[in-house]
């Protein structure tokens, strides 16, 4: 009976566009009226769109990360938490048909339960076969995934107050050129790889299928961890709102010839490639997940959270004493598709974070009609008036609250 009530309330909540974090009345939830009121107040949350899932909107309890060798990055407030590393040869030996099937089943049962695309799964099997039998390929570098976290929030506040915008991004048309750009941003899911094992083929999924070592590293973790269908557990390759990942060493094994939903004829639209051709050109990858907007108007807290996320990734790739040497970073319209973010807001957010981290951005646009002129005008004013990043955030929050052109793309269902 109680399960029926929950399901009925969930159905009503979806149909009326109410927040999923407020599914049940206080009496049913066993929470206080104060907690219920806080829920209704819509206090900003990085993962507000997922608040009603079995993971409480976040990633759940992450397992498999040993924090015993944590290393601060001086003067940034960011620490390298752990480096998870292996060889291509070990990963390729692991990626048998049976192991891959087991990882896919866990992925679909625990995390990406909404749908499936069996054609995409078949594409992955074809790439996996090529990956495990690549003749003549001997990797020159380990496959590394490094987790970074902001641990000194006060230092970040100081950077907000003391940093200024002195440089604007270089804007180019077209997708990343992964053979010439040394560092690119992965518009990531909070679980690295997103839905690459099952459905969907946007930037991150393409990345983890084409650069199959990264997909194998994440897939293996699903099989090795405790069962995440029995408890809300997350694999090591997940991130919290104050974290980012840097990936290195993953060469390309395939080229995917479409973007978005995997088509029925996908088996004719991808190409297997020789990984040796990419050994000297594979880029460093910054994995950062954007807010998925379940609100129409950004407020100051949303803006600060997104700048923090981008800043962590930029600092990690540029300033870590062992892994960070990338001062030029290629990015684009981060989180502006299915996550409903505004192109101008995300351009400004990343520019502010880049100036705080002292990196240069090359910003890719796709010629889709989303003009950045208002964002350039805003940033030019910030640059010429020499205001601090903190003051720029206040100006941006005010603009977002008053100008329809600076709203998110989220629209509540009526």
414 part of a folded domain? no
397 part of a folded domain? yes
364-396: b or e for each residue (b if 16 or more CB lie within 10 Å)?
bbeeeeeebebbbebbeebbeeebbbbebbeeb
43 band by pLDDT with thresholds 50, 70 and 90: low
Q: In this structure, are 252 and 289 located in the same domain?
A: yes
Q: For residue 340, give the CATH number of its domain.
A: 3.40.220.10
Q: pLDDT tens digits, residue range 196-253?
A: 999 989 999 999 999 999 999 999 999 999 999 999 999 999 999 999 999 999 999 9
CB 366 within 8 A of CB 154: no
Q: In this structure, are 203 and 141 located in the same domain?
A: yes
Q: Identify the pLDDT of residue 324.
A: 85
Distance CA 88, CA 140 (A): 9
135 part of a folded domain? yes
Percent with pLDDT over 70 in the chain: 89
The structure tokens listed for 17 are 């566009």
Q: In this structure, are 23 and 52 located in the same domain?
A: no
In this model, does residue 12 exceed pLDDT 70?
Answer: no
The phi and psi torsions of 83 (rounded to 5 degrees) equal -120, 120
Q: Identify the pLDDT of residue 257.
A: 95
Q: Identify the pLDDT of residue 31.
A: 34
Which residue has better confidence, 6 or 45?
45
Q: Identify the pLDDT of residue 50.
A: 75
Q: In this structure, are 223 and 181 located in the same domain?
A: yes
Q: Identify the pLDDT of residue 53.
A: 82
Which residue in this structure is represented by tokens 């995997």?
A: 262
In this model, does residue 393 exceed pLDDT 80?
Answer: yes
Q: pLDDT tens digits, residue range 18-28?
A: 333 333 333 33
Closest by Cα among 234, 209, 210, 235 to 220: 235
Q: In this structure, are 210 and 285 located in the same domain?
A: yes
In this model, does residue 6 exceed pLDDT 80?
Answer: no
The phi and psi torsions of 328 (rounded to 5 degrees) equal -115, 120
412 part of a folded domain? no
Q: In this structure, are 236 and 162 located in the same domain?
A: yes
Q: In this structure, are 35 and 52 located in the same domain?
A: no
CB 237 within 8 A of CB 86: no
Q: pLDDT tens digits, residue range 57-105?
A: 899 999 999 999 999 999 999 999 999 999 999 999 999 999 999 999 9
Distance CA 57, CA 41 (A): 17
411 part of a folded domain? no
Distance CA 362, CA 329 (A): 6
Closest by Cα among 84, 59, 56 to 228: 59
Average pLDDT over residues 265-286: 97
Distance CA 305, CA 140 (A): 37
The structure tokens listed for 386 are 């020499």
Percent with pLDDT over 90 in the chain: 82
Q: Identify the pLDDT of residue 11.
A: 37
Could you tell me the sign of the dihedral formed by the alpha carbons of 232, 238, 241, 242, in that order? positive
CB 312 within 8 A of CB 288: yes
72-109: b or e for each residue (b if 16 or more CB lie within 10 Å)?
ebeebbbbbbbbbebebeebbebbeeebbeebbebbbe
Q: pLDDT tens digits, residue range 238-258?
A: 999 999 999 999 999 999 999
Domain of 26 in residue numbering reads as 1-43
Q: In this structure, are 54 and 37 located in the same domain?
A: no
Q: Identify the pLDDT of residue 370.
A: 84
Q: In this structure, are 248 and 285 located in the same domain?
A: yes
Which residue has better confidence, 52 or 64?
64
Average pLDDT over residues 38-65: 77
Helix or strand or coil: residue 276?
helix
Q: pLDDT tens digits, residue range 141-190?
A: 999 999 999 999 999 999 999 999 999 999 999 999 999 999 999 999 99
Helix or strand or coil: residue 377?
helix
Q: In this structure, are 273 and 388 located in the same domain?
A: yes
In this model, does residue 40 exceed pLDDT 70?
Answer: no
């Amino acid at each position: 009976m109680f399960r029926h009530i929950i399901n009925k309330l969930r159905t009503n909540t979806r149909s009326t566009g109410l927040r999923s974090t407020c599914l049940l009345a206080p009496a049913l939830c066993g929470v206080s009226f104060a907690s219920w009121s806080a829920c209704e107040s819509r206090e900003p949350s990085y993962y507000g769109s997922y608040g009603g899932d079995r993971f409480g909107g976040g990633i759940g309890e992450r397992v498999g990360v040993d924090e015993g060798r944590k290393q601060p990055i001086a003067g940034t407030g960011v620490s390298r938490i752990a480096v998870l590393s292996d060889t291509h040869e070990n990963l390729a030996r692991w990626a048998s048909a049976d192991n891959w099937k087991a990882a896919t089943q866990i992925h679909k049962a625990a995390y990406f339960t909404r749908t499936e695309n069996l054609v995409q799964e078949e594409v992955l099997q074809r790439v996996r076969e090529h990956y495990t039998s690549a003749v003549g390929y001997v990797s020159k570098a380990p496959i590394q995934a490094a987790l970074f976290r902001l641990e000194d929030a006060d230092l970040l506040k100081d950077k907000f107050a003391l940093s200024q915008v002195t440089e604007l991004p270089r804007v180019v048309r077209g997708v990343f050129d992964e053979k010439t750009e040394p560092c690119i941003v992965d518009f990531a899911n909070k679980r690295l790889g997103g839905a690459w094992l099952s459905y969907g083929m946007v930037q991150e999924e393409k990345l983890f299928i084409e650069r199959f070592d990264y997909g194998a590293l994440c897939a293996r973790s699903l099989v090795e961890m405790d069962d995440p269908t029995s408890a809300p557990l997350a694999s090591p390759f997940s991130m919290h709102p104050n974290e980012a990942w840097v990936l290195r060493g993953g060469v390309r094994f395939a080229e995917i010839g479409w973007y978005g939903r995997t088509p029925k004829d996908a088996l004719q639209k991808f190409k297997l490639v020789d990984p040796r051709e990419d050994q000297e050109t594979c880029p460093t990858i910054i994995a950062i997940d954007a807010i998925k907007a379940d609100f129409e108007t950004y407020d100051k807290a949303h803006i600060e959270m997104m700048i923090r996320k981008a800043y962590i990734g930029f600092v990690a790739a540029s300033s870590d004493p062992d892994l960070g040497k990338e001062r030029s970073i290629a990015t684009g319209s981060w989180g502006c598709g299915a996550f409903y973010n505004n192109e101008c807001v995300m351009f400004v957010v990343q520019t502010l974070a880049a100036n705080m981290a002292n990196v240069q951005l090359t910003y890719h646009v796709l010629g889709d009609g989303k003009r950045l002129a208002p964002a350039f005008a805003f940033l030019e004013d910030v640059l010429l008036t020499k205001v601090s990043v903190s003051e720029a955030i206040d100006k941006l929050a005010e603009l977002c609250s008053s100008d329809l052109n600076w709203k998110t793309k989220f629209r509540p269902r009526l």
